[in-house]
Amino acid sequence: MSKPFILHMLTTAKNLSPFDVNMAIDAGWGAAVPYINVEPDEVCALVQDAIFSRSPKGLKNTGIFIGGRDTKQAMDMLKTAKDSMFPPFQVSAFADPSGAFTTAAAMVAAVEDELATKFSTNLEGKTILALGGTGPVGQIAAVLAAQAGASVKIIGRQLEKAQRIADLCNQEFGAGKIHITAGADTEKADYIQTTDIVFATGAAGIELLSAELIASAAQLKVAADVNAVPPAGVAGLDAFDNGKQITGSTSGAVGIGALAIGNIKYQVQSQLLKQMIEVEEPLYLHFEHAFAAARDYIKSSK
């Protein structure tokens, strides 16, 4: 008799995301078991409890999901989970704190596609502002774009915090091979004049890019917004917009709204959760795998 598919879902938060639970069940996991308020030093014991309770054959129907809100902590926990296992006691693990990895991947891949479709170019050499970029989505979007060759500046209300986050992204996620910089929100009127792309990744219901700033952005090509709660993070951008020209743009810039990004994010998370079920060898999935999946999804959808 085949063992049921069980996904052990770990989070440092007081609640596990209902979104992630629904995604796991819909992807084919028969049970999604929550572990809340998990301390990072508890990961090894939890993982080993999961792997030693089943035979190697039964482990093919077992997986680990890591949530929470902190991107570095999630990556550290993913590494701990991987290091806690050894052949033949190994299972797949997937980190996606607050959905940030899959959301950022979807946004950057969507922007990349608009650049190719509307402007016959790519991310390499482009100047990007990550507005409200100190949060999880902004961090990972900045890293992915920088890895693709863009010059990225994380913008925050507090320059010191933005610089700290930029340093974290460069060292922890970029292995010192990328150079993301930081800027203050009070200076974005100056930055926008030489910006090609805007990622609006701030808190819900806050306009980050005004109509006035859009009009002054002489070389803006694409603006993407992950905020579905009115007002939009980008003035005049509807959550369903998907490559529509932004009203008031003097450069012919196009916008990508939160629900257009969200559809790609949904497909990517579902695909990665299904991969964990289907593969013979264990996978250890994070933002780079999500980006590859987002690119593949967009390509296959054309």
**46 and 73 Cβ atoms separated by less than 8 Å:** no
Question: Which CATH number belongs to the domain containing residue 37 in this structure?
Answer: 3.40.50.10280
Task: Clarify whether residues 92 and 110 are in a common domain.
Answer: no
Q: Where do the H-state alpha helices sit in 242-286? A: 258-278
> Considering the domain boundaries, does residue 285 fall inside one?
yes
Task: Clarify whether residues 192 and 215 are in a common domain.
Answer: yes
The predicted model gives 174-203 an average pLDDT of 96
Task: Clarify whether residues 28 and 117 are in a common domain.
Answer: no
Q: Is 270 helix (H, G, I), strand (E, B) or coil?
A: helix
Q: How far apart are CA 222 and CA 256, in angstroms?
A: 8
> CB atoms < 10 A from the CB of 204, how many?
12
**Count of structural domains, the chain:** 2
Helix or strand (DSSP H, E) at 48: helix 43-52
> Which amino acid makes up residue 113?
D
**6 and 63 Cβ atoms separated by less than 8 Å:** yes
Confidence of residue 58 (pLDDT cuts 50, 70, 90): confident
Q: Could you check whether the bond before residue 231 is cis, i.e. omega within 30 degrees of 0?
A: yes
Number of C-alpha atoms within 13 angstroms, CB side, residue 193?
3
Task: Clarify whether residues 137 and 149 are in a common domain.
Answer: yes
User: Which pLDDT value is given to residue 56?
Assistant: 86
> Considering the domain boundaries, does residue 209 fall inside one?
yes
> Of 77, 172, 171, 148, which Cα lies nearest the Cα of 292?
148
User: Which pLDDT value is given to residue 127?
Assistant: 98
> Considering the domain boundaries, does residue 257 fall inside one?
yes
pLDDT digits (tens, 9 = 90+) for 75-87: 999 999 999 999 9
User: Which pLDDT value is given to residue 101?
Assistant: 98
Average pLDDT in the chain: 96
pLDDT digits (tens, 9 = 90+) for 81-106: 999 999 999 999 999 999 999 999 99
Task: Clarify whether residues 64 and 134 are in a common domain.
Answer: no
**183 and 155 Cβ atoms separated by less than 8 Å:** yes
**296 and 274 Cβ atoms separated by less than 8 Å:** no
Task: Clarify whether residues 39 and 122 are in a common domain.
Answer: no
**CB-based burial label for 155 (10 Å; 0-12, 13-18, 19+):** buried
Domain housing 231: 103-261
Question: Which CATH number belongs to the domain containing residue 176 in this structure?
Answer: 3.40.50.720
> Which amino acid makes up residue 247?
T
Task: Clarify whether residues 113 and 250 are in a common domain.
Answer: yes
The predicted model gives 283-302 an average pLDDT of 97
> Considering the domain boundaries, does residue 1 fall inside one?
no
Task: Clarify whether residues 116 and 249 are in a common domain.
Answer: yes
> Considering the domain boundaries, does residue 14 fall inside one?
yes
User: Which pLDDT value is given to residue 1?
Assistant: 59
Task: Clarify whether residues 213 and 250 are in a common domain.
Answer: yes
Task: Clarify whether residues 88 and 185 are in a common domain.
Answer: no
**209 and 223 Cβ atoms separated by less than 8 Å:** yes
Beta bridge partners of 93: 64, 284
> Which amino acid makes up residue 166?
A
Task: Clarify whether residues 149 and 239 are in a common domain.
Answer: yes
Task: Clarify whether residues 142 and 20 are in a common domain.
Answer: no
pLDDT digits (tens, 9 = 90+) for 155-173: 999 999 999 999 999 999 9
User: Which pLDDT value is given to residue 2?
Assistant: 78
E strand intervals along 67-150: 92-95, 127-131
Residue 160's φ and ψ, nearest 5 degrees, are -60, -45
pTM exceeds 0.85, yes or no = yes
